[in-house]
Amino acid sequence: MDDLDKAIINHLQKGFPICDAPYRVVAEQLGTSEAELLSRLQSLLDNGVLSRFGPMYHAEQMGGALSLAAMQVPEERFDAVSDMVNAFPEVAHNYARNHALNMWFVLATEKPEQIADVIAAIEQQTGIPVHNMPKIKEYFVGLQLEV
């Protein structure tokens, strides 16, 4: 990454304008062109520096639900189970962890009652229990990772 890539990442963590031409506005703020900004963002995504770039929606405020879930997956089955879990459109993130519960993922559904249905389907398909850990209270941390 060069200085412009770092500036893009640092700048976009602070927000994204809501207007007719948000990429143009950000590009102007960074002293580059809209085409260059879009090219850099795509490159950062393609190279895995960024895993995603897009809006974060508050599922609960839209009538849906979110829940953190975890599984204890035998190492020899980890990749296969990960593929099965990731095939569910409700799985938003899936991460390996160095813990007895070694697979953690976030479920996002359109309706709260769908969380239990998705968990049951994952358990049925994988043969492994899913530990559901719904959010009890939400805190805003405002985390920014300076590059």
pLDDT tens-place string over residues 12-32: 999 899 999 999 999 999 999
Q: Looking at the structure, do residues 35 and 64 belong to the same domain, yes or no?
A: no
- With respect to residue 139, please indicate whether it lies within any of the assigned structural domains: no
Is 142 among the domain residues?
no
- Residue 141 falls within a domain, yes or no? no
Distance from C-alpha of 13 to C-alpha of 37, rounded to nearest angstrom: 15
Q: Does residue 54 belong to any structural domain of this protein?
A: no
Residue 141 is predicted with a pLDDT of 80
In percent, how much of the chain has pLDDT > 90?
77
Please indicate, yes or no, whether the overall pTM of this predicted structure exceeds 0.75.
Answer: no
Residue 66 and residue 128 in one domain: yes
pLDDT for 111-141, tens place per residue? 999 999 999 999 999 999 999 999 888 887 8
Q: Are residues 63 and 129 in the same domain?
A: yes
Range of the domain at 77: 59-134
Report CA torsion sign: 6, 9, 14, 16: positive
Query: Domain for residue 52, yes or no?
Result: no
Phi/psi of residue 127, nearest 5 degrees = 75, 15
Q: How many CB atoms lie within 10 A of CB 2?
A: 7
Is 93 part of any domain? yes
Residue 9 has pLDDT above 80, yes or no: yes
Q: Is residue 144 part of a domain?
A: no
Token representation of residue 54: 């897009």
Calculate the average pLDDT of the chain. 93
Q: What pLDDT, on a 0 to 100 scale, did the predictor assign at position 52? A: 82
Position 58 pLDDT exceeds 80: no
| Domain count of the fold of the chain | 2
